[in-house]
Amino acid sequence: MSTLANTLDQLTVEGTLYERLPDDTVRCFACGHRCLIREGKRGICQVRFNEGGKLRVPWGYVAALQSDPIEKKPFFHVLPGSNALTFGMLGCDYHCGYCQNWLTSQALRDPASDESINFIRKVSPKGMVDLARRTDASVVVSSYNEPLITSEWAVDIFKEAKAAGLMCAYVSNGNNTSEVMEYIRPYLDAYKVDLKSMNDKNYRKLGGVLQHTLDGIKRAHDLGLWVEIVTLTIPGFNDSNEELWDAARFISSVSNDIPWHVTAFHKDYKMTEPDNTPARTLLRAAEIGREAGLHYVYSGNLPGRVEEYEDTFCSHCDIKLIKRSGYVILEYHITASGQCPNCGTKVPGVWPQNPSKVQLSGYGIPIPIY
């Protein structure tokens, strides 16, 4: 066993999201793979494993921890201008070749990520909430690796966070199950999903199944979570008009109030052949989203180059409600009751109760804690 595996296996507890089967086999419910794990074996994520007929799951550490602007997640309709204490562990149920967080997500899968052992810091749920207070965070977010596979740890943190009056969120690939969503729902407020493609063949290259993600998006919305969706637009992979229309129509079929973020790809990890995404592609994608009936479409990663698609407009009278540049809020005009001040239309989202305290012209720069 590698040093990294040995270290991670010690930072575990018995999981909740599984069932015991005959012959010391277990069935894991943390993600849509629903791994059948025999004694001594690991699930697809590599960090949930069967020891003596019991499922061991990650607990008690972080491998990434930052104070981020909430807009970086990206959540554009959740407490704009606020700080989010964002944490991640190691492992993922996908193996995306363009992952920007591959050092943490591909642990125990790609030997090049073994240096992630140096990122591990032990911490308690209470310690996480203390850090949130120190960084003036309003939201605690599980991100950087896939949060579904570390849901037992997230829930223990979120219990403390909710007791302290904080909101909680996931940044996820959406490959969820009814069991994991029922488990995290009492402690979760917002759920961002990466809709990576509308082509199942492409999804399987990344380690997923398209229908699982589509079901996961609808499941999160039906549970009453605030949902935002991101599509990283990759030239030659998922940027055709047909595929963008398919994505926009699907989102609209769930709710045309779900914000859709179309963001720019840049060469990373193993995917270095496609060109970086030009601004014109994001503008085309955003226009398709609008034509499909989505009320809130945003273009990201290229601040200042995507025209009005960084800003939020009223879906009824079209006045500008929030002006942004990158992660920075420049203007904020939504009322305390979450309405347009001009026509009174309700703006879907989770808004500050005191608009005068929204942080304007902040730095918008992530601050590493460790």
Any bridge partners for residue 69, and if so which?
A: 83
Kindly state the tokens that stand for 75.
């959540």
What is the b/e burial string over 319-344, where b = at least 16 CB atoms within 10 angstroms of the residue's CB?
Answer: eebbbbeebbbeebbbeeebbbeeee
Residues 88 and 140 occupy one common structural domain: yes
Q: Max CA-CA distance within the chain? A: 65
Residues 321 and 250 occupy one common structural domain: yes
Residues 28 and 162 occupy one common structural domain: no
Distance CA 208, CA 344 (A): 42
Residues 80 and 50 occupy one common structural domain: no
Residues 106 and 240 occupy one common structural domain: yes
Helix runs in 187-278, H state only: 200-206, 210-222, 241-254
Structurally, how many domains does the chain consist of?
2
Model confidence at 369, pLDDT cuts 50, 70, 90, reads low
Instruction: Show which of 11, 26, 58 is a domain's final residue.
Output: 58
Residues 165 and 254 occupy one common structural domain: yes
Instruction: Show which of 14, 32, 58 is a domain's final residue.
Output: 58
Please tell me the predicted confidence (pLDDT) of residue 78. 98
Residues 41 and 73 occupy one common structural domain: no
Residues 275 and 165 occupy one common structural domain: yes
Residues 260 and 126 occupy one common structural domain: yes
Q: What is the mean pLDDT of the chain?
A: 96
Domain range holding 17? 3-58
Residues 239 and 313 occupy one common structural domain: yes
pLDDT tens for 278-317 read: 999 999 999 999 999 999 999 989 999 999 999 999 999 9
CA distances from 168 to 171, 182, 281 (A): 10, 15, 32
Instruction: Show which of 13, 36, 58 is a domain's final residue.
Output: 58
Mean pLDDT score, 61-83 = 96
Tally of CB atoms within 10 A around 253 = 12
Residues 11 and 140 occupy one common structural domain: no
Residue 118 clears pLDDT 90, i.e. is over it:
yes
DSSP letter (8 states) at residue 127: H
Model confidence at 366, pLDDT cuts 50, 70, 90, reads low
Please tell me the predicted confidence (pLDDT) of residue 2. 79
| Lowest-pLDDT range of 19-33, 87-101, 303-317, 355-369 | 355-369
Residues 80 and 218 occupy one common structural domain: yes
Judge contact between 298 and 308, C-beta under 8 A: no
